Amino acid sequence: MKTTKPAVITRVIKMDRGKRLIAIIMLVAICPLLASCYDAREVDDLGFVIAMGLDRGKTNTLRMTLQIAKPMAGADGGGSGDDLPYEQFSVEAPAVFSGLNMINTFASKQISLTHLKVVVFSSELAREGLKPYLNAMLRGKEFRPNMPIVVARHTAEEYLQSVDPKLVTNAAKYYELVFQSYKYTGLIPKVEFHDFYLASKSPCRNPVAILGDAGKFLSAEEFDIKNSTYMDHHRSMPFEGDFFAGDIPALGGARAGNVGLAVFEGDKMVGELDGTNTTMYLLCTGDYIHSYWTFPDPLAEGRYVLMDVKQSRKPKHRVEFVDGKPRIDIMLNLEGDLVAVQSDIDYETGDNSLVLESAAEDYIKDHVQKFLDKTINEFQSDICGFGAYARAHFMTWAEWEAYNWHTKYKDATFNLTVNFKVRRPGLILRSGTSEAMESRRDDQ
């Protein structure tokens, strides 16, 4: 402190410290200004759409139906009275997002699509082509890529209206579960939106969608089976899968039902397949998990053997070109557990089990063959994605694209192999006649 110099230094340092402090405070203050909770939304400020239906509009291109979940339904449980767990809105608009804007004018909460569980198209719209809507759904970042796509045989609005979930109080849960039923019924295909979109653009395969409709029967007196496909399957009465959605004679639960699949070519729907054929479709793609099957009893006319059929291994595919035409080899590996033998014949042991196995193999083979023929003759659409295996024969992508699989698929022939084994007899280990049982009891 001899000279004045240190004082100056002190001052400089003081200013420096002050400046640094100000800089830090400003940086901290700027952070919230920059971010400022920019896109923060409280959950209770949003209306979450759980299902969206798209129909051809009366006054505009689209009629959009939205189901918005009510917050109370989830927490309070019980589902008091006739109150639906959702609010339904309809609007006619030129496109999906303009429709959302219009709904926001009268819905109190901001619409969010982040929890959208399903998109339903009417078959009318699907037959005209879904390209304009798929694009919007893919670009819009709120759409989930794994939501199922449903084609309603009549209108999407009617389909959504008929969803009155009785088994679960929560509509969102209903949609989550109902489209998982392919895992244990095999009557609807496994469809996810991103996969659907890819398939609609793919040179190797064509997409499918779940076929849905509101049930047409309101009381048991109206039941009929005139729309069933059992005649096509050469049966005297319809099996569980011989229906299209909406035609099943059933009452109770939600009126909306899903059976079968909608066949597409590119983004255009070209036809429908019933539940039985959908099972065959799942077998061919390997998405099949397990379901109950009704087999005609090979040893007792008019009786049935019911088995729980599982896929023991994924199917093996191979595509060869014979005389320029594709020959598709498919090997299915299945196994079955007996769940009911109506005739009480001992199928558990000995030769009878072999008889049952070969009868089942023939039965499955016959059905798969008919399904594949249908894809060729009726739709000329490779919905099973065999193109992916044919692709292996081409050196470059350009060659493969030039080959144009979609036009060649109609010439394909199939070589089917089905391996079927009866594994478990259920809780009855050995069927016996009642006399045999009696005599055994006498011996003791």
Residues at the site binding another protein, with contacts judged by CB under 8 A: 1, 6-7, 9-10, 13-14, 31-32, 35-44, 46, 48, 50, 69, 71-76, 112, 114-115, 117, 142, 144, 170, 172-173, 176
Closest separation in Å from C-beta 380 to another protein: 39
Cα–Cα separations (whole angstroms), residue 301 to 262, 305, 307, 342: 34, 11, 17, 11
Between 6 and 94, whose beta carbon lies closer to another protein?
Answer: 6
CA atoms within 13 A on the CB side of 60: 14
Select from 417, 388, 405, 192 the least CA-distant residue to 315. Answer: 417
Between 9 and 322, whose beta carbon lies closer to another protein?
Answer: 9
Between 177 and 340, whose beta carbon lies closer to another protein?
Answer: 177
Helix (H, G, I), strand (E, B) or coil at 314: strand
Closest separation in Å from C-beta 182 to another protein: 20
- Residue 424 CA to residue 336 CA, distance in Å, equals 7
Between 72 and 436, whose beta carbon lies closer to another protein?
Answer: 72
Between 52 and 187, whose beta carbon lies closer to another protein?
Answer: 52
* Torsion on CA atoms 109, 110, 116, 121, rounded to nearest 10: 100
Closest separation in Å from C-beta 74 to another protein: 3
Token pair 């659907």 is found at 196
Closest separation in Å from C-beta 13 to another protein: 6
Closest separation in Å from C-beta 3 to another protein: 12
Helix (H, G, I), strand (E, B) or coil at 77: coil
Between 89 and 295, whose beta carbon lies closer to another protein?
Answer: 89
- Residue 31 CA to residue 158 CA, distance in Å, equals 50
Closest separation in Å from C-beta 48 to another protein: 7
Q: Which residues of 221-238 are buried (b: 16+ CB within 10 A; e: fewer)?
A: eeeeeeebbbeebeeeeb
**How many other β-carbons are positioned within 10 Å of the β-carbon of residue 186?**
27
